[in-house]
Amino acid sequence: MSCRTELPRLSASELGARIRDRDVTVTNVIDAHLERIDERDDEINAFVTVCKDEAREAAAEADRALEADEDVGPLHGVPLALKDLGAEKEGVRHTYGSALFEEYVSQRTAAVVERLEAAGAIVIGKTNTPELGHKGTTDNEVIGPTASPIDPTLNAGGSSGGSAAALSAGMAPIATGSDAGGSLRIPAAACGVYGFKPTFGLVPDDGRPSAFGRELQHTTKGPMTRSVADAALLLSVMGGPHSADPNSVPVDIEYTAALDRPIDEFRIAYSPDFDAFPIDDEVRAVVDDAVDAFADAGATVETVTVDHGYSMTDLSEAAMPTYTTSVLESTTVMEQAHGVEFRDRSDEVSDSLLAMLHVSGEYGPADVARSGVVRTGVYDAVEDVLGDYDLLVTPTLSRADVRLHEDIGAEAWEWPLTWPFNWTGHPVASAPAGVTERGHPVGLQLVGRRFGDDDILAASAAFERERPWDYLYE
């Protein structure tokens, strides 16, 4: 196997170590990943923008720093893919997944990007997302749909679909995502990678011009990787309070130290359907088998009911006012900041976003207030479970066969078991659980106590050791 072929298969931790040991140059690492993009992205469609020249210039500078024996960060020379929504980098095109902003160039660099670059990461490109990240599949009017590299007839999921697909296809070892209803975890499951939604407030979001648009649906940024160790590394870089984020919290968590913790004293609650979701038999079979890995690692695993007391209809009806209002907030801020009108230029706007904006007009403050009662009931039920158990485990998605161009429509709430935890603010990861008999990837969702993000990492690392998933990337 040639060096150029091998490098895109390595984790960020492995790449960083080989770069610091002078076993490989940063230039070779960047070129290997750019070649991989050239080879795979016509089929996958993960990248909206590829920063070839900028990445090569940064690689040359990173190699000079090593030659001069300068102190370097833990991600020195590691290629980084940025979701084309929120993860802005000054001077680089940033479309928000919208044809209205196809030529827009960022005027600022987001806090998490600054932190990742300060640790040495090199931005290799911007990844695809549905318009303003409004839905759980990745397709837009800018470059079209993104496919899952595991089965390109399937959609990569959304809204961080481009980032997940880039990782799965070996086009980048690390990527950013964001999550308002499952946007880190849905594509992680669909592409067979690891996505981590941290406790609300741990990873700062300095978005402007509005800093207050994240509370209603607990939207947060987080890492996407191919390994748990890389996710812990990224969290250690991305996390920590920031003065520009009114929601950031001064909580210190030892992310990387959690990786080697044993879980033999963990009590893990397994809910096969979160008491409401219609789980396909093929998904249930994979997840039922996967949870045995926690017992194999020494944990106690018990099947539980969450007892929130709501039907799927109750939950979805309560979700509509909060989620559609949060999307309306996003478009309103965008219109004010950029002087555009989404409805006035409807020919350039996704039909699904227009439909959501239309629906959002049917709800008012009273509807949002009433949804808070259901939201509180779900929060209390999850807290009750986590009062007795260290973690709650569920499937990430109810089905594993969403097609590349499929409009899931009425199934939008039934498909992902992710959005209830944007209501509650708990930390959640999605790990690859395995594949169905048809070869479709299935995700396993790990929910922890608020600010118990390290417990999720400990359990995820143990699960990865018992059920390695790197075969998905061969």
Locate tokens 């005027």: which residue?
107
Q: What is the DSSP letter of 403?
A: B
Give CA–CA dist 217/179, Å, rounded.
Answer: 9
159 is a catalytic site residue: yes
Closest CA to 169 of 59, 345, 54, 42: 42
Residue 134 token pair: 């409004």
350 is a catalytic site residue: no
pLDDT tens, residue by residue, 337-383: 999 999 999 999 999 999 999 999 899 999 999 999 999 999 999 99
pLDDT at 1: 39
Instruction: Give residue 217's pLDDT band: very low, low, confident or very high (50, 70, 90).
Output: confident
DSSP lists the bridge partners of residue 397 as: 416
pLDDT at 410: 76
- The 10 Å CB-count burial string (b at 16+, else e) for 374-408 is bbebbbebbeebbeebbbbbbbbbbbbbbebeeeb
Report the amino acid identity of residue 322.
T
DSSP string, 80-133: EEEETTT---TTSB--TT-GGGTT-B-SS--HHHHHHHHTT-EEEEEE--SGGG
Residue 308 token pair: 């929130």
DSSP lists the bridge partners of residue 174 as: 80, 225
168 is a catalytic site residue: no
pLDDT tens, residue by residue, 159-196: 999 999 999 999 999 999 999 999 999 999 999 999 99
Residue 316 has pLDDT above 60, yes or no: yes
Residue 96 has pLDDT above 80, yes or no: yes
Torsion of CA 414, 464, 199, 125, to 10 degrees: -80
CB 24 within 8 A of CB 6: no
Residue 142 token pair: 């800018």
Torsion of CA 154, 173, 123, 103, to 10 degrees: 0
- 220-225 sheet: strands from edge to edge: 47-50, 122-127, 79-83, 174-179, 220-225, 194-197, 428-435, 441-448, 391-395, 267-270, 300-303
Angle 52-125-130 (CA atoms, 0-180°, nearest 5)?
145
CATH number for 433: 3.90.1300.10
Residue 389, domain extent: 3-472
pLDDT tens, residue by residue, 56-78: 999 999 999 999 999 999 999 99
- The 10 Å CB-count burial string (b at 16+, else e) for 312-349 is eeebbbbbbbbbbbbbbbbbebbeeeeebebeeeeebb
Residue 60 token pair: 């040359």
DSSP string, 80-93: EEEETTT---TTSB
pTM above 0.85, yes or no: yes
pLDDT at 396: 98
Q: Name the catalytic one among 83, 89, 126, 197.
A: 83
- The 10 Å CB-count burial string (b at 16+, else e) for 52-69 is eebbbebbeebbebbeee
Q: Name the catalytic one among 11, 98, 148, 159.
A: 159
Residue 448 has pLDDT above 90, yes or no: yes
Instruction: Give residue 206's pLDDT band: very low, low, confident or very high (50, 70, 90).
Output: confident
Please give the tally of structural domains in the chain.
1
Give CA–CA dist 1/140, Å, rounded.
Answer: 37
What distance lies between CA 428 and its chain's CA centroid? 10
Q: Name the catalytic one among 183, 227, 350, 371.
A: 183
Residue 391 token pair: 């973690």
